[in-house]
Amino acid sequence: MAAKKIKQNLDTNTEAKIKNAARTVFHKKGFAATRTRDIAEEAGINLALLNYYFRSKEKLFNIIMQETLSGFVKSIVVIFNDETTTLEKKIERIPSAYIDLLILEPQLPLFIMSELRRNPDHLLKMTNVKNVIVNSAFARQYQQSVKAGKIAPVNFLHFIMNLLGLTIFPFIASPMIHAVGDLKEAQFNKLMTERKKMIPQWTKAMLKAK
Amino acid sequence: MAAKKIKQNLDTNTEAKIKNAARTVFHKKGFAATRTRDIAEEAGINLALLNYYFRSKEKLFNIIMQETLSGFVKSIVVIFNDETTTLEKKIERIPSAYIDLLILEPQLPLFIMSELRRNPDHLLKMTNVKNVIVNSAFARQYQQSVKAGKIAPVNFLHFIMNLLGLTIFPFIASPMIHAVGDLKEAQFNKLMTERKKMIPQWTKAMLKAK
DNA sequence: GTCTATAACGTGATAGAC
DNA sequence: GTCTATCACGTTATAGAC
């Protein structure tokens, strides 16, 4: 009963065009505010084709959400579980990798958080964040450093919230930051690029705080 | 042409009931996903009354948005402009006050950021965040400390992003944090309460980082 | 002021020609 | 596979009785 789809080469084919358009519009406006007509227009195709290829708005959304979430998590997993790098090196790589990603796709965090509020189960079903993070090499190295007395004995959850908060929050609050700092996009991105070097320094300083 | 409204005493009156219901539902689901029927049901009133009192969903929303934004900003302005407290004291009070607020209204940041993305002008028109923050006593004290060489010479915008990121981000990412930490609401709130003391310590440590 | 009934409209989805 | 035309439905908003 499930429709077979022959993968073609270029993303010039209609199915890929629709998916790309859907990703763009969903990421920008969220599920509820997006009209299928917006997606069709963005894709430069006819509205009927959307349903021909994906059956419904909801099914299309689920595909996009799935891909977005797993992409977002995977981009971190590689670094978290690199057994060849130290804790300190990971503290440098995580903000740097995420900021590179978010400069390219600044709407990603707000999209994910908004849609997760609508349906928190998505996260658990689609990715296994808990295991991915809690059982990572990163977490293990952190706990070991705490035990060895090398860093302050702070709950790993706090540490993760701090590292990700410093990295991701500016992109979520970007309209506010643009307003406060009277910034254009280029200036904002420059600030974010600065943070790639600064967040690791700040984080290390925090780890020494009592 | 503008409708006059006689303010009654209790929030038992219909207009207040609708507004309170609207605030609850809009904060939880955002503008696009909210149906006027949801609001009417939450308020325990007839759907037609909503339009009788507020003309349209959009007008009602704008009132809620206006109140929410100015409340959110005002809650910070008092502390930011308290001329009787030091920079250090403000660094302690801001996270503390915000976390108290956000434990009561955890959906606030995500609501504000989501709706601001839809219409960034709201922020500029409704509140004057730029002046409120940039010309605050807090900002002035920060700059003075930098000049005096007491703290690292870091852009005030970075500092604000850090302080607010550490404070607000966990509430925005709360579905993710609940999943990663396997937390119930009470445990989450306990973590947040811990942060009231820790964020100032961390922030001060960051200020010494080179 | 509050209700019921209904109009007016927007949006998701499909039928059917090509 | 792709299009035009249209249906079916949900939602906002209003008319009109009480």
pLDDT digits (tens, 9 = 90+) for A92-141: 999 999 999 999 999 999 999 999 999 988 888 888 889 999 999 999 99
pLDDT at B12: 80
Output the pLDDT for position A45: 97
Three-state secondary structure of B23-69? HHHHHHHHHHHCCHHHHHHHHCCCHHHHHHHHCCHHHHHHHHHHHHH
Show the tokens assigned to B19.
């507004």
CB-CB under 8 Å, A206 with B202: yes
Report CB contact under 8 Å: B173, A113.
yes
Cβ atoms B97, B75 nearer than 8 A: yes
Q: Check: CB of residue A26 under 8 Å from CB of residue A111.
A: yes
Q: Report how far residue A182's alpha carbon sits from residue A185's, in angstroms, rounded to the nearest whole number.
A: 10
Question: Would you tell me how many other CB atoms lie within 10 Å of the CB of residue A37?
Answer: 10
**In whole angstroms, what is the distance from residue B157 CA to residue A181 CA?**
7
User: Which of A98, A105, A104 shows the shortest CA–CA distance to A26?
Assistant: A105
- Closest nucleotide to the alpha carbon of A3, via C1': D1
Spatial contact of B79 and B69, defined as CB atoms under 8 Å apart: no
Average pLDDT over every residue of A77-100: 97
The number of beta carbons lying within 10 Å of the beta carbon of residue B45 is: 18
Using the CB atom, is residue A29 less than 7 Å from strand C?
no
Is residue B113 within 8 A of residue A172, CB to CB? The reply is yes
Q: Specify the amino acid at residue B47.
A: L
Q: A38 vs chain B: nearest CA distance in angstroms?
A: 15
Best of B119, B176, B178, B201 to mutate (most A CBs within 10 Å, chain A): B176
Which residues from chain A sit within 8 angstroms of residue B115, using beta carbons? Answer: none
Residue B54's identity, in one-letter code, is F
Q: Which residue has the higher pLDDT, A85 or A6?
A: A85
Query: Structure pTM?
Result: 0.94
Q: Which amino acid is at B124?
A: L
Half-sphere exposure of A184 (CA within 13 A, CB side): 1
Which domains, and CATH codes, for chain A?
A: 1-55 (1.10.10.60), 65-207 (1.10.357)
Residue B10 predicted with pLDDT over 90: no
Task: Say if residues A47 and A37 touch (Cβ distance below 8 Å).
Answer: yes
Nucleotide with the nearest C1' to B32 CA: D11
- Other beta carbons less than 10 A from residue B30's beta carbon: 22
Q: Which comes out higher in pLDDT, residue A120 or A81?
A: A81
**Interchain CB distance below 8 Å, A165 and B165:** yes
Q: Please, where are the H alpha helices in B35-184? A: 36-43, 47-54, 57-80, 87-104, 108-118, 121-126, 129-134, 137-147, 156-172, 174-181
pLDDT digits (tens, 9 = 90+) for A151-163: 999 999 999 999 9
The owner of tokens 């910034």 is A183
Chains A, B: CB contacts within 8 A come to 149
Can you give the pLDDT at residue B2? 38
- Residue B120 token pair: 């960034």
Strand C proximal to A150 Cβ, under 7 A = no
**List of long-range contacts for A73-77, beta carbons under 8 Å, 24+ apart:** A73/A127, A73/A129, A73/A132, A75/A101, A76/A132, A77/A132, A77/A136
| Shortest CA to C1' contact from B37: nucleotide | D11
Amino acid at B42: E
- Nearest one of B126, B99, B94 to B112, comparing CA atoms: B126
How far, CA to CA in Å, does B36 sit from each of A69, A76, B9?
Answer: 31, 40, 26
Mean pLDDT to the nearest integer, B201-208: 97
Task: Read off the tokens for B186.
Answer: 């009470």
C-alpha A26/C-alpha A31 separation (Å) is 6
Distance of CA B62 to the CA centre of its chain: 16
Which helix H or strand E contains B130, and what residues bound it?
A: helix B129-134
Task: Report which DSSP code applies to A10.
Answer: S
pLDDT in tens, B113-160: 999 999 988 888 888 889 999 999 999 999 999 999 999 999 999 999
B49 touches strand C (CB under 7 A): yes
The CA distances from residue B82 to A45, B87, B93, in Å, are 57, 10, 11
pLDDT at B6: 38
**Integer angstrom CA distances of residue A48 from A52, A55, B50, B165:** 6, 10, 36, 43
Query: Which residue has 């009787």 as its token pair?
Result: B84
